[in-house]
Amino acid sequence: MPELSSNETVSRLRIYISESDRWRGKPLYAAVLEELRKKGIAGATVFRGAAGFGAGSHVQNSSIEVLAMDLPIVVETIDSPENISSVLETLYPMVNEGMITRDEIQLIKYTHRFLNPLPADLPVSQVMTHDVVHFSPQTRLAEAWKEMLTRQVKVVPVVDGAGKVAGILTDGDLLERAGIQQRLSIALRLNPDKLALELDGLEKSALTVGTIMTTPVVTVSESDPLALVVTRLIRNDLKRLPVVDAAGKLTGIISRLDILRQVVKTTQVTPVSTVPVGAARTVADVMARDFPLVDQNEDLEKIIEKFTQYESNRLVVVDENGKAIGLISDSDVVARIQPEKQGGILNALRRLGKTPKGNETAYDLMSPGVLTALPDTPVVEAARLMLKEARKWLVIVDSQNLPQGLVDRKILLESLSSVYLKN
């Protein structure tokens, strides 16, 4: 199956012939279809006309009085310009009487059921998380941050007095506009004294959730299909969306993880032999090939440099042979260095201060063990593996365990669904 992608310019080929036309003893339209199939063309359709006339000006129709049927036939196929040009060489001499046309069109969507295992028609209400913590715009920041830390949630909807979504509060909002020094994953690993000092500072602040929340908010309705949710998540580069009822009141929240669980849950294991070649994506088709690697012996300064260079909060650690041996996150760095150095590290991670020196290496700071898969692993199987192991990253390695690429939840969601994105 040729690789065609959305918004690509492709060629459409149309062959106008008659039902009575023959080629080597078989109907011409059947011979054309067979030739297109042998050439590996993406697909073709035969249209049988109700009436028409051709170059000989003889009117053909399908009225019941006409016993000798000779109706108009149109064979249409769409593929890349290169493939259409290639097949024309064979098709041209097959059409003794008729017409062949070609035009360039924009491909909006080309897919296969094996490429889209998402249960696209499933309503949000059957997938979303119903029990959702939320704040009011008047909630004080110290109270909000304590609640987020306690529940370990990075994103909380904000609702007004009528229960309608007025905004959303993230740890990023607190980081940028409230003066906290780190994201929630890092804050959870700070020493208690430092965390208490920061909370004390928020207690003295007059700011409320309503003064720093993100607004307006992208939402979905509980009756919307999952296909629409995926489109909005990808189009807006979001990880989760508040769910509202017909009146706009908050009823839940839906995340990438919720959707991936449905893909894995509803996807039936299909024997490899029954899946058309190229019809099921592998991780090699979708993986990110530019991803952050750090040698196990790199020092703290180099580690911080890699974090900022890739704008990532995770790095893949490799040994002296280039094999993946662990992952290191910014929260690992903060949690595993001496408390007196944490302030400098936090500033460095936020690009606010000079990169700190330290004797710690990537090997000292990493979490050992990496979830890996080979390049030919089907994407659905990769999703199943990541969910089972509760991992956000899957490192794609070759037969020598050398990293070749990376798959995360965002990549999985995009590859397991069919999304219409405007140019």
**pLDDT per position as a tens digit, 225-244:** 998 999 899 989 999 999 99
356 or 253, greater pLDDT: 253
User: Does pLDDT of 219 surpass 50?
Assistant: yes
Tokens of 51: 């009436």
If one counts every other C-beta atom within 10 angstroms of the C-beta of residue 246, the result is 9
- Of 367, 370, 371, 399, the closest CA to residue 383 belongs to 371
Average the pLDDT over each of 35-39, 270-274, 341-345 and give the range with the smallest value. 270-274
- What's the rounded Cα separation, in Å, for the pair 29 and 36? 11
Average the pLDDT over each of 31-45, 274-288, 318-332 and give the range with the smallest value. 274-288
Residue 239 — φ and ψ, nearest 5°?
-100, -25
- Of 168, 167, 165, 143, the closest CA to residue 155 belongs to 168
Q: What is the DSSP string of 369-382?
A: ---EE-TTSBHHHH
**Helical ranges in 209-341 per DSSP H:** 209-212, 226-235, 256-266, 283-286, 300-310, 330-336
Kindly state the percentage of the chain with pLDDT values over 70.
Answer: 81
- What's the rounded Cα separation, in Å, for the pair 278 and 169? 42
User: Does pLDDT of 349 surpass 70?
Assistant: no
- What's the rounded Cα separation, in Å, for the pair 410 and 70? 53
pLDDT of 67: 43
C-alpha pair distances (Å), 318 with each of 8, 293, 331, 369, 399: 38, 7, 19, 11, 15
Summarised one tens digit per residue, pLDDT across range 68-127 is 467 899 999 999 999 999 999 899 999 988 999 999 998 887 665 555 677 888 999 999
How many CA atoms within 13 Å lie on the side-chain side of 94?
27
181 or 72, greater pLDDT: 72
Average pLDDT over residues 354-368: 77
What domains are defined for the chain?
8-110 (3.30.70.120), 124-266 (3.10.580.10), 280-415 (3.10.580.10)
Q: Are 122 and 226 in contact (CB under 8 A)?
A: yes
- Of 193, 176, 199, 175, the closest CA to residue 185 belongs to 175
- What's the rounded Cα separation, in Å, for the pair 158 and 166? 6
- What's the rounded Cα separation, in Å, for the pair 357 and 348? 11
Summarised one tens digit per residue, pLDDT across range 280-314 is 578 998 899 999 999 999 988 888 888 888 888 88
pLDDT of 197: 77
Averaged pLDDT of the chain: 83
3-state secondary structure of 281: coil
Average pLDDT over residues 43-70: 66
pLDDT of 176: 83
- What's the rounded Cα separation, in Å, for the pair 316 and 386? 16
User: Does pLDDT of 397 surpass 70?
Assistant: yes
Residue 399 — φ and ψ, nearest 5°?
-65, -15
**Which of the four pLDDT bands, split at 50, 70 and 90, describes residue 55?**
low
**Which of the four pLDDT bands, split at 50, 70 and 90, describes residue 332?**
confident
Residue with tokens 């911080």, as numbered in its chain: 304
User: Does pLDDT of 58 surpass 90?
Assistant: no
**Which of the four pLDDT bands, split at 50, 70 and 90, describes residue 139?**
very high
Average pLDDT over residues 187-191: 74
How many CA atoms within 13 Å lie on the side-chain side of 156?
30
Q: Are strands 314-318 and 324-329 parallel, antiparallel or unpaired?
A: antiparallel
Kindly state the percentage of the chain with pLDDT values over 90.
Answer: 50
149 or 187, greater pLDDT: 149
11 or 270, greater pLDDT: 11
Kindly state the DSSP code that residue 71 receives in the 8-state scheme.
Answer: -
Q: Is 396 exposed, middle or buried (0-12, 13-18, 19+ CB in 10 A)?
A: buried
If one counts every other C-beta atom within 10 angstroms of the C-beta of residue 324, the result is 20
Q: Which residues of 124-155 are buried (b: 16+ CB within 10 A; e: fewer)?
A: bbebbeeebebbebebbbbebbeebeeeebbb
- What's the rounded Cα separation, in Å, for the pair 303 and 341? 15
